[in-house]
Amino acid sequence: MKVVLLQDIKGVGKTDEIKEVNEGYARNFLFPKHFAVQALNKNIKELDDRKRKEAKESERELQELQGLAGRLDGFEILIKEKASEGGILYASIGPQRLVQELNKRGFKIEKNQIKNLNIKKAGEYTVNIKLNHGLEAQVRINVETL
């Protein structure tokens, strides 16, 4: 019996795949637990429509992220912080602070998209921001003392 899997099932297949399984397995396990539906024309058409919709959504998201990466790449931020006479900051600048600064300027960035940022001295820094779909942008940070 052909079924459309509604979720990943170990040893059978992944979500949205059409698989051939034993009829008893389908009727006694997959269907009652809503792990699969029978591969009827109607269900296959729904699957194709969902995949097409997801592909459109993914393409739209990619275009938005490309625009965001283009605006972010080379963007400069000036951050003023209190520091000792030697230029060492009293409070280091980490990903959360950079996210706050970028959000103030209209960029929607998550903290987990910024890796290995821990600025402890005044100066100029370049930070990589990893976006979805494998896109990256570099932001320059100028840290000045008050």
Query: What's the whole-number average pLDDT of the chain?
Result: 92
Domain of 104, in residue numbers: 67-145
Tally of structural domains, the chain: 2
Structure tokens at 42: 């109607």
User: Residues 117, 104: one domain?
Assistant: yes
Tell me the pLDDT band of 115, cut-offs 50, 70 and 90.
confident
What digits encode the pLDDT tens for the residues 54-95? 999 999 999 998 998 999 998 999 999 999 988 899 999 999
| Residue 30 neighbours by CB distance under 10 Å | 22
What digits encode the pLDDT tens for the residues 14-31? 999 999 999 999 999 999
Q: Which residues, including other chains, have CB under 8 Å from residue 92's CB and lie 6 or more apart?
A: 118, 119, 120
User: Residues 124, 71: one domain?
Assistant: yes
